[in-house]
Structure 1
Amino acid sequence: MLKLLGWVLTLALAAAAVLTLDPARLGLSTSIPVTQAIAMRPYLVAGFVVLGGVLLLGVLLAALLGRRWPRRTALAVVLLAVGAGHAGVLWHRGLGDEPLPAAQDGAVTVLTLNTLGGGSSPEQVADAADDAGADVLVLPETSADSARAIAEGLTERSGTAFQLFVERTGAWDSSSTALLVSEELGEYAQAPAPTTAHGAVRAEPVDGSGPVLVGVHPMSPHAPGPAMERWRTDLEAVTEPCRSEPGVVVAGDFNATLDHAPMRDIGSCVDASAEAGVGGVATWPAHLPRLVGAHIDHVLVDGDVYTVDAAAVLEVGASDHRAVVARISLK
């Protein structure tokens, strides 16, 4: 009886480990603590590999003493396989670290960076955007004054003027999201944006020729209760344009990864980072190595309308986020 109970417990632990590979399929990815755990896949890789390795080492030592532990052997193999599975997901999304290639004629380059209220200075952002040849900048946690300074800096560097749109929902810069659009894309006008805790901004081409641009910054899932509920509501709101509007580009700090269910339900949109092979590189927190953390900053584009030519994850100043740059072209 005890042996049977031991196997039941072993199988339950193995099944729980396997289910961590894709909790969104079970509807668990938007519930604490799964939301936070699945966002940090690199930690899950390390955790399962270490647990499986230690368990397997114990099994091997026991074997040298003439003892057999089949249940522990089976569990060790499962844990190591799950660790490899998590690593495989990151590998599939891409761990590339190549610089952006030269832009093709007609390409549009989108840069998004949470500047941490000036952690990345206007000069640093303008330098990074100019080096990338950015036509569109989505800048969460950026005040109107900082965004204006970035636009002026870009004009000085490139000779191209940028249109500025800002939405602020609170007193702090963390509740201000800015959107800069190169005048080379044509004239844009601000339009109603999704309602989010930290501000979203939307700009539409006046002549209808360019993409509709939406800059977003949902609440973070940092605590149980109202914060989690607002995070779910915000995520649904900022991904809605992808489900309902052809040709849209939605970018910003989503405070979510592709492992969270709302980021799977994005209609014809695709994640530019994953398409270009850098979707496994962490964008937060920036003080950790690039392969440790969560990829929560995204550029989503309509895959029926645009081809993702290239993407990169950049270090810009002292923000706690890295920038994502995506270059797209009409199909």
Structure 2
Amino acid sequence: MLWLLVAALAGWAGLRLSGWEPKFFWSQLVSFTPYAAALSLVPLGFAAFLRAGPLLVAALIVTGAFAVTVLPRAVPEGNPPAEGPVLRVMAVNLLHSSVLPSVLVDAVERDRPDVLHLLEFTNLMRERVEELGLARLLPYRIVLPGTESEGAAIYSRYPLRPADVPIAAPAFKGSPRHLPAVVSLPGGREAEFVAVHACAPSEGWRTACWASSIRALPSAGGRLRVLAGDFNSTLDHAVLRDLIATGYRDAADVTGKGLSMTWPYYEQPRLFPKVAIDHVLADRRIAIRGFQTLRLPRTDHRGTLTELVLP
């Protein structure tokens, strides 16, 4: 039984390290790689207890393979030199705008973001939060109209304008969409922000929607850019790692909080395994000074709050 478990975990680690992602449920299963890494300690412990040499060696190799992929997320990294404006960025998936408007406005007032990304943002939610003072706290906004999962918005303390090159919408009706905007900062500087909402990675046509919605996001380079929101992908998905490799850094990973899980929470058992699918990707020239997840009642996602320092 221990050998079977080691063999199964070896296959998991091998697929993860290879970057090959078969469509048959692997796109969902690979999200739970941190749990597989923890499970690999079980045969390792038994092999050591039983003094089973060959099994111990095999288990060590498998555990080591998982450690290479998972442990760096818990180790803080350094930052590039940056002495520019400090920006606090909040991003929240509202679960079809189920979050109470007063709770959202209170969170903005308490955490004082400079840029706010709202996903699954309906017109009714917009009316209610603006009645409660969101437009007073963050007076500039760009809203992408939509119902349920399609709508998105960016609110800002500083002037906003649409991005020079819009991001193509998925070719699947009813799918979520990304919202890019350019923030004009004091001193004439500009930075681009993208409220990210990718399709979910499931079987059939939605697998194609998921991968294409990640690949549609702009690569790093040129104008400073920050992508924040619901990527529906973890750091164990090759498609997300490929995007990061263009010149981004993941804020949770950089701050040693890469194992902070963000979904699913609402109406789920307490011990239901969670995954980290909400991210903030910042251009590698930007210093990441802080990252935390936020609990907002009545949504299945944890929000994110990140403090960035521009070069």
Q: Shared fold (TM-score greater than 0.5)?
A: yes
Change (3 A) 1:302 1:105: closer
Task: Give the alignment of 1:54-133 within 5 angstroms.
Answer: 56=47, 60=50, 70=52, 74-75=54-55, 78-79=58-59, 82-83=62-63, 86=66, 89-94=69-74, 106-133=85-112
Gaps in structure 2 of 5+ consecutive residues: 77-82
For the Cα contact (< 8 Å) 2:221–2:247, is it kept in 1?
A: no
For the Cα contact (< 8 Å) 1:199–1:216, is it kept in 2?
A: yes
Match of residue 143, structure 1, among 119, 122, 135:
122
Gaps in structure 1 of 5+ consecutive residues: 1-9, 64-69, 97-103
CA distance in 2, matches of 1:90, 1:128: 31
Change (3 A) 1:127 1:303: same
For the Cα contact (< 8 Å) 1:130–1:154, is it kept in 2?
A: no
* 1:119, distance to aligned residue in structure 2 (A): 2.8
In the alignment, which residue of structure 2 is the partner of 1:3?
A: none
Q: Does 1:298 align with 2:254?
A: no
Q: Which has the higher helix share?
A: 1
Amino acid at match of 1:210: E
Task: Give the alignment of 1:1-331 within 5 angstroms.
Answer: 17-18=9-10, 20-21=12-13, 23-29=15-21, 31-50=23-42, 52-53=44-45, 56=47, 60=50, 70=52, 74-75=54-55, 78-79=58-59, 82-83=62-63, 86=66, 89-94=69-74, 106-155=85-134, 159-168=136-145, 172-182=147-157, 185-189=158-162, 192-196=166-170, 197-205=175-183, 209-222=189-202, 224-238=203-217, 241-266=218-243, 267-286=246-265, 287=268, 292-304=273-285, 306-331=286-311
Change (3 A) 1:83 1:324: farther
CA distance in 1, matches of 2:122, 2:6: 48
Change (3 A) 1:216 1:302: same
CA distance in 1, matches of 2:100, 2:66: 35
The alignment yields a C-alpha RMSD, in angstroms, of 3.3
Identity across the alignment (%): 25
What secondary structure is seen at the aligned counterpart in 1 of 2:261? coil
Amino acid at match of 1:174: S
Amino acid at match of 1:281: S
For the Cα contact (< 8 Å) 2:163–2:192, is it kept in 1?
A: no
> Which has the larger Rg?
1
Amino acid at match of 1:204: V
For the Cα contact (< 8 Å) 1:151–1:161, is it kept in 2?
A: no
CA deviations over 1:27-80 (Å, ceiling 9, x no partner)? 323633322122113431343334555x649x83xx8xxxxxx5xx53355346
* Matched length: 292
In the alignment, which residue of structure 2 is the partner of 1:100?
A: none
What secondary structure is seen at the aligned counterpart in 1 of 2:308? strand
TM-score by length of 2: 0.80
What secondary structure is seen at the aligned counterpart in 1 of 2:176? coil
For the Cα contact (< 8 Å) 1:298–1:324, is it kept in 2?
A: yes
CA distance in 2, matches of 1:79, 1:113: 40
* 1:307, distance to aligned residue in structure 2 (A): 0.6
TM-score by length of 1: 0.75
CA deviations over 1:246-277 (Å, ceiling 9, x no partner)? 31111110000111112112311111111122
Q: Comparing 74-83 with 272-281, which one deviates more in the overlay?
A: 74-83
